[in-house]
Structure 1
């Protein structure tokens, strides 16, 4: 009868494979991960013993182990032959976590730089489109934050205002930007009563039937958003900044606001 496999050995082998795969995802090379796992089993090992356990060619163990030493994950004893010993798992965890955080920060710093470059070139990019309520809310808040002189936001209902949009409206108004909120919801006047921004409540006879949300920033940036399905998740938007079409749309938007103000004024005087 053939010998039954040692269940403990099988489990340890599977754990080692999982650990190697996880360490690779954390940034170690395959050989580096294999050497580090082998050292957890050995405690201390030479290139030869590490090679036997890790199945890494002995000639490659030296480079992989030296890389682990440089990363603060392994200690080396200058004996003949050299012996390698892993740092504690707690120290290794902190070291790898710190490396991941540095790489994360570096990645997003570069992404920020890329987006800034793209924003500077926006005038030549024409019209951009967005889909989904959350991305559109974020874009509206970002565009509001860029306002230096004028910002007009058309919000048919209270639900049209996310927390980040409200914060952006208040922040720009407090910074001295001429902020106007156009709505069909009279209750929003009370909500912003203590804020230095103008709230215009359009009457029911206003010809602009509030097809959706709209934003104008500094008379050159425009965002238009409409619901394309039965819920806000399917909201779609287009926006353009510092472009000819943006200035044209801004002119139409200003004309509509002037008309709305006039109609409201006539209604109040009547």
Structure 2
């Protein structure tokens, strides 16, 4: 069995077929049609197992059975098989997510509104920054000292929020950051009133309205870790503390 065939079998398994079902289905497409003996000859499936596997594939709508002696099998076209598996995937997906949605709706309402969340990895932190900024109703404060932490998605989101009428303030002591985001029409750029010249760990800070915050640090290896909280009392209090300390002004 080739590497490509192994990968195809693995893919069929992820689509819900068993290993034997995938092997029989592939073998029948090689043959065009055939008996259990024909299939067993070219597929790594015992002949005694081919019958039950073929019956299962027939129940799934992936092959047809000719009631002859011996019984012959013929696979449906690739287009029909693809449509059948896609339809099944959609049904299973809807069944799974409908159940989760029902469980969520039936919860006690004790959602983690006061929770502080931790995320790791620059891409994940950037995605969270974008999500928080998109949820702004009035104001966004975004700060960083590192130009590489100003992703295109963050820049686009800030620009869109300005257009939507939100107040956007960028705080940075770094010229590259100030120039890049300051070029966006409607964005106000400010320098932090005070900072440590030896700061090599701060990453990003995001304040959204008065109830959402994200703070990140950059590790020695360049990785980023952030804590964030949204629509919570904790976030409101922390924002007040940050602004009162004059580290960020809006």
- Common fold, TM-score beyond 0.5? yes
Which residue of structure 1 lines up, in the alignment, with residue 233 of structure 2?
Answer: 244
Which residue of structure 2 lines up, in the alignment, with residue 36 of structure 1?
Answer: 25
Which residue of structure 2 lines up, in the alignment, with residue 266 of structure 1?
Answer: none
- Report the RMSD for the aligned CA atoms in angstroms: 4.1
Aligned residues: 236
- Structure 2 residue runs of 5 or longer lacking an equivalent are none
Which residue of structure 1 lines up, in the alignment, with residue 171 of structure 2?
Answer: 182
Displacement of 1:255: 2.4
- Structure 1 residue runs of 5 or longer lacking an equivalent are 1-13, 262-270
Which has more radius of gyration? Answer: 1
Moved over 6 A (4+): 107-110
Mapped partners of 1:259, 1:49: distance in 2: 76
Q: Return the match for 2:46 from 55, 60, 65.
A: 55
Change (3 A) 1:20 1:147: closer
Question: After superposition, what is the alpha-carbon deviation per residue over 1:166-188, rounded to whole angstroms, capped at 9, x for unaligned?
Answer: 11111112111222111113562
Change (3 A) 1:22 1:178: closer
Check the 8 A contact 2:61/2:84 in 1, yes or no.
no
Q: Please report the TM-score for the alignment, with normalisation by the length of structure 1.
A: 0.67
Which residue of structure 2 lines up, in the alignment, with residue 76 of structure 1?
Answer: 65
Mapped partners of 1:37, 1:191: distance in 2: 55
Displacement of 1:254: 2.5
Displacement of 1:71: 4.0
Change (3 A) 1:105 1:173: farther
Q: Return the match for 1:161 from 131, 139, 150.
A: 150
Displacement of 1:99: 6.0
Mapped partners of 1:259, 1:138: distance in 2: 22
Which residue of structure 1 lines up, in the alignment, with residue 111 of structure 2?
Answer: 121
**SS of 1:171's equivalent?**
helix
Counting helix residues as a fraction of each chain, which structure ranks higher? 1
Displacement of 1:25: 4.5
Check the 8 A contact 1:149/1:178 in 2, yes or no.
yes
**SS of 2:189's equivalent?**
strand
Displacement of 1:249: 1.0
Q: Return the match for 1:228 from 197, 215, 219.
A: 219
Mapped partners of 2:156, 2:96: distance in 1: 24
Displacement of 1:215: 0.7
Mapped partners of 2:60, 2:124: distance in 1: 39
Check the 8 A contact 1:229/1:235 in 2, yes or no.
no
